[in-house]
Amino acid sequence: MSFNTEDELYPIIIDNGSGTIKAGFSVDEKPRVVFPTVIGRLHQAKSLPQTNNKDQYIGDEAIKTKEILYINYPIENGIITNWDDMEKIWHHTFYNQLRVSPEEHSVLLSETPLNPKANREKMTKILFEQFNIPAMYVANQSVLSFYSLGKTAGVILECGDDVSHTVPINEGYPISHAINRLDIAGRDLTNFMIRLLAERGYSFTTMAEREIVRDIKEKLGYVALDFEQELTTTSRLNNIENYKLPDGQIITIGNERFRCPEALFVPVTMDRDEPGITETVYNTIMKCDIDIRKELYVNIILSGGEL
């Protein structure tokens, strides 16, 4: 992959996600590169044939060989927890993915809502001192999603790989005291789908098989407008979908298609004692001034890689 040298003129935008990292230039309509926010290291007793004996693999390369790697996600619940690995991922983003010299670009870096101040300072320190960038700005991920729609007030429901947030915005600024966090997101739904498929007699245990379940969830899953009615209809009509596994085997998926995402609204269905996304949005709005609640209710925006 090669990029035009004109790209050197533009700021770089990096969106740090728990599951994927997205990066590109300020003039792009969509990210130039998207890859998993993951680093894999070889098990001590194993080696890869026909390789250059690298000791670590980043992004898609790690996912492809994950069965013989120790896998680490340096961002957990939206917060960077492994700074050494995060620095390696940023290095991979600049030099291997975008193929630019970071010292020639200013950077806009996204952060999760409620990101601790110490983490923000650490991000800034690494990018200035290790990559010598000339300037940077750290922006709330939900606010950036909101700006893209040209609105001034509303609520962003951002559902990522392992954390969700509800962020109220008024006159372009987040109302910090009303932000709510929900530790239910895409990864939890994948785990729940694994449980549901086990009830049907299908076993998915390895990391490669987990990726298959994630694909099933994303391709076949949907939210039922009337959950109880959908259960009745699906049972009566024996409404199923076929899914072809990589080895050619065909499996059938029934009400798991909508039982899985229903857990976002009713977490108790997957044994989680916390509010669902509907209640969380409501709680966020009720924390805001009564004069702006009407506008918040009519501008509820879904965002994030899992929605």
pLDDT per position as a tens digit, 206-251: 877 888 999 999 999 999 999 999 999 998 888 899 999 988 999 9
d(CA 150, CA 31): 19
Q: Do 186-270 and 164-183+274-303 fall under one CATH topology?
A: no
Domain range summary for the chain, segments of one domain joined by +: 12-147, 164-183+274-303, 186-270
Does the structural domain 186-270 have CATH classification 1.10.287.610? no
Pick the CATH number of 12-147 from 3.40.50.300, 3.30.420.40, 3.40.50.1100, 3.90.550.10: 3.30.420.40
pLDDT per position as a tens digit, 25-74: 999 989 999 999 999 888 764 555 555 557 789 998 888 877 778 888 99
**Beta strands, E only, the chain:** 12-16, 20-25, 33-36, 39-42, 56-58, 69-72, 75-76, 79-80, 107-111, 136-140, 153-159, 164-170, 173-174, 180-182, 241-244, 250-253, 300-303
User: What fold characterizes domain 164-183+274-303?
Assistant: Nucleotidyltransferase; domain 5 (3.30.420)
pTM of the model: 0.81
Q: Locate 240 and state its tokens.
A: 């199923």
152's CB contacts (< 8 A; 6+ apart) are 169, 170, 171, 172
d(CA 12, CA 145): 17
